Amino acid sequence: MRKNVLSILSLLLTALSLTAQDSDGTRYPSIHADGTLKNKYEYASETGTSRFSVRNSRIGVKGDISPFAAYRAQLELSDNGKFKVLDLSATLTPTDGLSFSFGQTGIPLFNAYITTPATMMFANRAFIGKYFISTRDLGVLGKYKFRIGSLPVRLEAGLFNGNTINDPVWKKKMSYGTRVELGSMEGARVTAKMYNYPKDDTQQFIIYGADFRYARNDWKVETELMKRESKTTFFSDLLSYYIQSAYRFPVRSHMFDFVKPALRWDGIDETPDRGGFDVNRLTAGLGFGFNRTGYSSLLRFDYEWYLVQNDMTIFSENPEMDSDKFTVEFVITF
């Protein structure tokens, strides 16, 4: 595995050097490298245990081949110790605002800012971004952006294998999803989405939800509700929500550019007949960040309080999963 990783990195570096040598100053072809490194320490108060981990170490390349064609490739060198190929897609843009991405890419269901390590507000993802379904699949995703007056609108629709990433299985019933977005990342924005996931005889889900976001200058608030309905008796329905907010305070320091306090409340439920959410969680965070064009770093301190009303199977992997936790995380993004 280490030899494969080194070979891939060598190919990426070779591609970068060739592009730099062959380019005559024109825009095409273009190549841009990016990456994220997340290292963290966790302490679970209920069990008295702790651990260090490399949560993510991602590297990727993207760029344009022509005015109408682009590409994206991204690798996860260590996702809790596991190597993964994340994105492998080619995008065709036949006209302004309309694009089609083929390959392994994100499904039109999740907000990138709660699932992407570089943009997450907290060290651990919201329940919605972790327990519902994989964020990527193999297929085709179409996007169309336009305006209704001054209102930005984006429509997304995709058809996918409906299995897992890096596994091109033959299927009679494929997954499909759609998403509509009104507004932009600055100011008010609302989206609604639906995803049909017939993986196999035991896992067949319909997932739908909606979210609202408002951001202005250095402050933002985000909330989302999502439900997963199981079409088989092997899994229970799943309902989850979150509301989170953060404010960025500029500071004068040779180490940091800003301080960012953040607060989140989220809950998840698989037994709606009992009343109330099975597990709620309050997360308080404080981040110290350094930001420059093209790269950034963040030192983050989080504490999570779990309020468990009913035990859930998704937390049964180990006793630390639903224990109150203190986390120190250092994130570097370029």
The answer as to whether 23 is a domain residue is no
On average, the pLDDT of the chain sits at 90
Residue with tokens 């409340």: 265
Question: What pLDDT, on the 0 to 100 scale, is given for residue 21?
Answer: 46
Number of domains observed in the structure of the chain = 1
Write the CA distances from 206 to 9, 171, 230, 232, 277, integer angstroms: 38, 17, 7, 11, 20
Print burial letters for 55-93: b (CB count within 10 Å at least 16), e (below 16): bbbbbbbbbbeeeeebbbbbbbbbbeeeeeebbbbebeb
What is the mean pLDDT of the segment spanning 12-32?
A: 61
The answer as to whether 157 is a domain residue is yes
What is the mean pLDDT of the segment spanning 151-169?
A: 93
Question: What pLDDT, on the 0 to 100 scale, is given for residue 81?
Answer: 75
Question: What pLDDT, on the 0 to 100 scale, is given for residue 116?
Answer: 92
Question: What pLDDT, on the 0 to 100 scale, is given for residue 25?
Answer: 57
- pLDDT above 90 covers a percentage of the chain that reads 77
The answer as to whether 8 is a domain residue is no
Question: What pLDDT, on the 0 to 100 scale, is given for residue 22?
Answer: 46
Write the CA distances from 102 to 31, 85, 99, 106, 288, integer angstroms: 19, 15, 10, 11, 38
Question: What pLDDT, on the 0 to 100 scale, is given for residue 248?
Answer: 96
Query: What Rg do the C-alpha atoms of the chain give, in angstroms?
Result: 21
DSSP letter for each residue of 101-127: EEEEEE-TTS-HHHH-TTT-SSSS--H
Question: What pLDDT, on the 0 to 100 scale, is given for residue 82?
Answer: 80
Amino acid letter for position 238: L
Question: What pLDDT, on the 0 to 100 scale, is given for residue 75?
Answer: 95
Give dist(CA 226, CA 206) in Å, integer: 11
The answer as to whether 222 is a domain residue is yes
pLDDT at 258 over 90: yes
pLDDT at 51 over 50: yes
Which residues neighbour 260 within 8 Å (Cβ) at sequence distance 6 or greater?
246, 247, 248, 249, 285, 286, 287, 288, 289, 298
The answer as to whether 174 is a domain residue is yes
Q: Omega of the bond prior to 29 within 30 degrees of 0, cis?
A: yes
76-124 residue pLDDT tens: 998 777 889 999 999 999 999 999 999 999 999 999 999 999 999 999 9
The answer as to whether 7 is a domain residue is no
Which residues neighbour 69 within 8 Å (Cβ) at sequence distance 6 or greater?
90, 91, 92, 93
* Burial (Cβ within 10 Å: 0-12, 13-18, ≥19) of residue 1: exposed
Write the CA distances from 50 to 29, 55, 283, integer angstroms: 47, 14, 18
Amino acid letter for position 263: L
pLDDT at 15 over 70: no
The answer as to whether 102 is a domain residue is yes
Question: What pLDDT, on the 0 to 100 scale, is given for residue 220?
Answer: 97
3-state secondary structure of 217: coil
Question: What pLDDT, on the 0 to 100 scale, is given for residue 293?
Answer: 81
pLDDT at 27 over 80: no
Strands (E), 199-308: 204-216, 219-230, 238-247, 249-250, 258-269, 279-292, 295-308
Q: Where in the sequence is the domain holding 41, given as residue range(s)?
A: 30-333
Question: What pLDDT, on the 0 to 100 scale, is given for residue 12?
Answer: 54
pLDDT at 332 over 60: yes
pLDDT at 8 over 70: no
pLDDT at 239 over 90: yes
| CATH number assigned to the domain comprising residue 232 | 2.40.160.10
Give dist(CA 323, CA 303) in Å, integer: 11
CA 221 to mean position of chain CA atoms:
17
Amino acid letter for position 190: V
Question: What pLDDT, on the 0 to 100 scale, is given for residue 13?
Answer: 53
Which residues neighbour 7 within 8 Å (Cβ) at sequence distance 6 or greater?
none
Inter-residue contact 43 to 62 (CB < 8 Å): no
The answer as to whether 156 is a domain residue is yes
Question: What pLDDT, on the 0 to 100 scale, is given for residue 20?
Answer: 46
168-203 residue pLDDT tens: 989 899 999 999 999 999 999 999 999 999 999 899
